[in-house]
Amino acid sequence: MAKKKTPRYKKLLGFVYIGISALLIYTLGVNAYRVIGQKQQLVQLEERKAELQKEKQELSKEVELLTDDDYVARYAREQYIFPDDDEEVIKLPESKK
């Protein structure tokens, strides 16, 4: 019995299918890698967003406090050694222990 020869175009067509399959698998791998990277970036950005929201709340509270005249006066006295009307400020040197 004689072997049947497969036509050349079928061999060529097989190589084309293999090439297309390899290209599709490569594209799928690259896209999967990109998605994993973007998920990691999303997690980092959500953590940063939570930090910024917390900072925003703290700053909002501070803004509310700064609208109170008594708080502003007390803050200025404590932080910037700002005397009250009948007070005299004397700064003492810090003691070494």
Per-residue confidence (pLDDT) for residue 95, from 0 to 100: 80
Return d(Cα 27, Cα 31) in angstroms, integer: 6
Examine residue 5 and state whether it is found in any structural domain, yes or no: no
87's tokens: 């007070």
Examine residue 85 and state whether it is found in any structural domain, yes or no: no
What would the mean pLDDT of 1-22 be, rounded to a whole number? 84
What would the mean pLDDT of 28-53 be, rounded to a whole number? 98
Examine residue 89 and state whether it is found in any structural domain, yes or no: no
Examine residue 59 and state whether it is found in any structural domain, yes or no: yes
With CA atoms as reference, report the closest residue to 65 among 50, 78, 53, 52: 78
Examine residue 54 and state whether it is found in any structural domain, yes or no: yes
Residue 70 has pLDDT above 60, yes or no: yes
Residue 56 has pLDDT above 90, yes or no: yes
Examine residue 51 and state whether it is found in any structural domain, yes or no: yes
Residue 31 belongs to domain spanning: 14-80
Examine residue 96 and state whether it is found in any structural domain, yes or no: no
Number of structural domains (the chain) is 1
Q: With left for phi above 0 and alpha for psi between -120 and 50, is residue 81 left, alpha or beta? A: left
Examine residue 88 and state whether it is found in any structural domain, yes or no: no
Most confident stretch, 4-13, 23-32, 58-67: 23-32
What would the mean pLDDT of 20-44 be, rounded to a whole number? 98
Return d(Cα 67, Cα 53) in angstroms, integer: 21
Give the chain's mean pLDDT: 88
